[in-house]
Amino acid sequence: MDKKKYYITTPIYYPSGKWHLGHCYTTVCCDSIARFRRMKGEEVFFLTGTDEHGQKIEQKAKERNVTPQAYVDERVADVKKLWALLDVSYDKFIRTTDDYHVKAVQKIFKALYDKGDIYKGSYKGKYCTPCESFWTESQLVNGKCPDCGRDVIDAEEECYFFRLSKYQDRVKELLTTTDFLQPQSRVNEMVNNFINKGLDDLCVSRSTFKWGIPVTFDTKHVVYVWIDALSNYITALGYGEGGENYAKFWPADLHMVGKEIVRFHAIIWPAILMALDLPLPKKVYGHGWLLFGGDKMSKSKGNVVDPYVLSERYGIDSIRYYLLREIPFGADGNYNNEEFVTRINQDLVNDYGNLAKRTLAMSKQYFGGKAVKPAPDKRDEEFIATVDGAYAKASECIDKINVTKALESIFVAIDRANKYIDENKPWELNKNGKKERLNAVIYNLLEALRVTSTLLLPFITVSPKKVFAALGLDVPTSFDCINFGAVEEYRTGDIEVLFPRLDLKKELEELDEIARQLKEKENKMNDNATEKETVDTIEDISIDEFFRAKLKVGEVLACEKVEKADRLLKSTVKIGDEVRTIVSGIAKFYTPKELVGKKVVVVTNLIPRKIRGIESKGMLLCASEGEHGSADEKLTLIRPESDIDSGAEVC
Ligand code: MSP
């Protein structure tokens, strides 16, 4: 019989920033689902990859003085290492710079153009000249460019549009009459916030940057973001090249994405597929965010969110388990070190680790590791039914795409088994010479350990394997023998401690220290990069270039030291009608008191920067002598020679 096929995808990630626990979240969730279904006997195709084109990548590469290709190659090598570390079992890794993808996207673009669903027009919007970026009115922050904070101008650019509006009704019907998009809350969001407001045609090409897939029939343009990115789900299967995997696996069973890109997957992607006359994916699931101090990105201080650091210290099972279990699937959840450590202690140390340790130790102690299948006993029926029922429950949760609940149902069986030890007190059975009952209890516990370890394999991939070695069994690759009682006889061995108990207080202190060191290292690297850039790029500039820096007079209204940072002062500075926070490395030269009331010169149009968790908007101009940061450095603020109002321009 043909195996059931299952095609699951993660988003393809931008290789432009640092890989963090947030990326691991989606990937590990998909990996668990893929592994679970493979063990059920399905033929799974699990796809992940990277979304490598666009202006941001082009800029990052330029900043580092390398080609965009060299830049993405390095970042992709990094993420592949991360997935290997976390035991991610993808079947294919697609890069949007892969040749076959580039060719297929060009064909898709042309097919849509030939059909009349892509047409040439002009894009009107707010344009930031230095960033070379178009923004919509609603994307602006206080009317300025959201990236650099500078003024924007009204501008128009020739580009190709995809006729999204044409598919509005069909997409609405898809979302409102099927369970294409989950959870349900996301459907309401899509319909109310986007579709009911009317879908505009979508700009799908750009001509102001080069790092993209060229439009074959108009090479001034490159394909812009979403047609390139979303098409990965079919090009990875060989769409357009007669790829056998396309025939086998499309339509996808599940596109798992973070909630912020649901719009692209639940509105734009179906519309593109409708235009191409292709079958639609069966489901899009928009999961919540793992937040770091309320932020989607891992900028929080104090919390170590570097997956390498965490896995080195606690092992990959702990990271995978935490990600899958802590955040109720579909909702947002906040990462913090305390909950991370507590979760490991409670579930992995106390529950699973303990069950393995106690069961195997008793098996060895009472029968030298031998246990045989006993005759059925009424007293054990409820216990066996609970353990036996875990597979069906977990499987149902995976069908409903609820990884958290699937794990919970396995832990119900683990908890029940731990309780079974306490109820049956094997040590008393041993003392009273009740060998037959003792054998039955030990066998039942070994079976519970086997069944739950089998079920845990898709979620945590290391420690269950150690359990199988100690049980004297091969690591199962399917759920075929998941039923209780499938093993006739056991010959068990020893097991090492699977998860050492963690001292919460000590761990929190050490994690704080690690976070501090990481931050310091990062700051140093940023400083070095900035310094290097300055040295590398000193050359004569025109007066116009000079005036791109907007210097204004500011008045320091308040000032204080930044906690745990010897060099830093945080000033509240009034510049005309505006009040800003500015962090400066001048605490060695000025006390906060000395600064209050002083008029200073501020560089007002610097990109805001977070320093020690404080967003600093601008820089106080100083003159300095001696090596920067050295003991004999001298530094003094540049100040107006006579009194002048704050907000006055320096010209
Ligand atoms: N390249 C696009 C996606 C194109 S898919 C055709 C993109 N890339 S991204 O690098 O920004 O990745 C976003 C995805 O990473 C989210 O949708 C989510 O799956 C995952 N996450 C990144 N940070 C996350 C959290 N803090 N929490 C949960 N998921 C997170 O958007």
C-alpha dihedral (270, 273, 279, 284), degrees to nearest 10: -30
Return the residue whose CA atom lies nearest to atom 23 of ligand 1: 22
The better pLDDT of the pair 398, 543 is held by 398
486 and 542 in a single domain? The answer is: no
Return the residue whose CA atom lies nearest to atom 25 of ligand 1: 22
Q: Which residues contact 611 (CB under 8 A, 6 or more apart)?
A: 523, 562, 568, 583
Provide the pLDDT for residue 17: 81
484 and 541 in a single domain? The answer is: no
Return the residue whose CA atom lies nearest to atom 17 of ligand 1: 258
List strand residue ranges (DSSP E) for 471-621, in order.
489-491, 551-561, 569-575, 578-584, 599-603, 609-611, 614-616, 619-620
Return the residue whose CA atom lies nearest to atom 28 of ligand 1: 289
Share above pLDDT 90 across residues of the chain, in percent, rounded to a whole number? 70
Contact residues of ligand 1, CB 6 A cut-off: 11-14, 22-23, 25-26, 51, 229-230, 232, 257-258, 260-261, 289-290, 296
Examine residue 123 and state whether it is found in any structural domain, yes or no: no
Return the residue whose CA atom lies nearest to atom 24 of ligand 1: 22
pLDDT tens digits, one per residue of 246-258: 999 999 999 999 9
Among 430, 456, 491, the domain-final residue is 491
Examine residue 61 and state whether it is found in any structural domain, yes or no: no
Examine residue 260 and state whether it is found in any structural domain, yes or no: no
Domain count, the chain: 2
For residue 471, the CA-to-ligand 1 centroid distance in Å is 40
Using the predicted structure, report yes or no on whether residue 631 has a pLDDT greater than 80: no
Range of the domain at 551: 537-637
Pocket-testing residue among 51, 96, 306, 404, ligand 1, by greatest number of atoms within 8 A of Cβ: 51
Return the residue whose CA atom lies nearest to atom 5 of ligand 1: 11
Distances (CA, A) of 381 to 378, 384, 393, 427, 490: 5, 5, 18, 22, 21
Asked whether the beta carbons of 478 and 40 are under 8 A apart, the reply is: yes
Asked whether the beta carbons of 554 and 574 are under 8 A apart, the reply is: yes
Return the residue whose CA atom lies nearest to atom 15 of ligand 1: 23
- What average pLDDT does range 626-637 have in this prediction? 76
Return the residue whose CA atom lies nearest to atom 2 of ligand 1: 13
pLDDT tens digits, one per residue of 401-444: 999 999 999 999 999 999 999 999 999 999 999 999 999 999 99
352 and 466 in a single domain? The answer is: yes
Q: Which two tokens stand for residue 142?
A: 């206080």
The better pLDDT of the pair 44, 134 is held by 44
Examine residue 568 and state whether it is found in any structural domain, yes or no: yes
Q: In sequence order, what DSSP letters do the residues of 336-377 get, joined into one string?
A: -HHHHHHHIIIIIIIIIIHHHHHHHHHHHHHHTTEEEPPPP-
Provide the pLDDT for residue 304: 58
**Where is average pLDDT lowest: 5-14, 126-135, 171-180?**
126-135
- What average pLDDT does range 13-27 have in this prediction? 91
pLDDT tens digits, one per residue of 323-381: 999 888 889 998 889 999 999 999 999 999 999 999 999 999 999 999 999 999 999 99
456 and 355 in a single domain? The answer is: yes
Q: How confident is the model at residue 562 (pLDDT cuts 50, 70, 90)?
A: confident
- What average pLDDT does range 32-52 have in this prediction? 98
CATH number of the domain bearing residue 548: 2.40.50.140
Pocket-testing residue among 257, 303, 306, ligand 1, by greatest number of atoms within 8 A of Cβ: 257
Q: How confident is the model at residue 146 (pLDDT cuts 50, 70, 90)?
A: confident
Q: In sequence order, what DSSP letters do the residues of 555-571 get, joined into one string?
A: EEEEEEEPTT-TT-EEE
Q: In sequence order, what DSSP letters do the residues of 66-122 get, joined into one string?
A: S-HHHHHHHHHHHHHHHHHHTT---SEEEETTSHHHHHHHHHHHHHHHHHTSEEEEE
Examine residue 155 and state whether it is found in any structural domain, yes or no: no
**Where is average pLDDT lowest: 55-64, 198-207, 295-304, 582-591?**
295-304
Pocket-testing residue among 20, 26, 76, ligand 1, by greatest number of atoms within 8 A of Cβ: 26
544 and 467 in a single domain? The answer is: no
466 and 575 in a single domain? The answer is: no
For residue 260, the CA-to-ligand 1 centroid distance in Å is 8
Among 458, 474, 491, the domain-final residue is 491
Examine residue 630 and state whether it is found in any structural domain, yes or no: yes
Return the residue whose CA atom lies nearest to atom 8 of ligand 1: 13
pLDDT tens digits, one per residue of 110-140: 999 999 999 999 988 888 777 667 787 877 8
Using the predicted structure, report yes or no on whether residue 486 has a pLDDT greater than 90: yes
362 and 419 in a single domain? The answer is: yes
Distances (CA, A) of 408 to 15, 199, 326, 402, 628: 34, 41, 10, 10, 55
Examine residue 156 and state whether it is found in any structural domain, yes or no: no
CATH number of the domain bearing residue 433: 1.10.730.10
481 and 595 in a single domain? The answer is: no
pLDDT tens digits, one per residue of 511-558: 888 888 887 877 776 666 555 444 433 456 667 667 778 899 999 999
Pocket-testing residue among 25, 75, 297, ligand 1, by greatest number of atoms within 8 A of Cβ: 25
For residue 27, the CA-to-ligand 1 centroid distance in Å is 10
Examine residue 385 and state whether it is found in any structural domain, yes or no: yes
Among 428, 463, 491, the domain-final residue is 491
Return the residue whose CA atom lies nearest to atom 13 of ligand 1: 13
Q: Which atom of ligand 1 is the closest one to the Cα of 258? A: 17
pLDDT tens digits, one per residue of 265-274: 999 999 999 9
428 and 548 in a single domain? The answer is: no
Provide the pLDDT for residue 5: 98
**Where is average pLDDT lowest: 123-132, 171-180, 427-436, 469-478?**
123-132
Provide the pLDDT for residue 536: 39
364 and 477 in a single domain? The answer is: yes
Q: Which atom of ligand 1 is the closest one to the Cα of 288? A: 28
**Where is average pLDDT lowest: 117-126, 213-222, 303-312, 391-400?**
303-312
461 and 385 in a single domain? The answer is: yes
Pocket-testing residue among 10, 12, 13, 20, ligand 1, by greatest number of atoms within 8 A of Cβ: 13
487 and 541 in a single domain? The answer is: no
* Closest C-alpha to 240, from 92, 99, 95: 99
**Mean pLDDT over each residue of the chain, to the nearest integer:** 91
pTM for this model (two decimals): 0.81
Asked whether the beta carbons of 95 and 50 are under 8 A apart, the reply is: yes
For residue 258, the CA-to-ligand 1 centroid distance in Å is 6
264/615 Cα distance (integer angstroms): 31
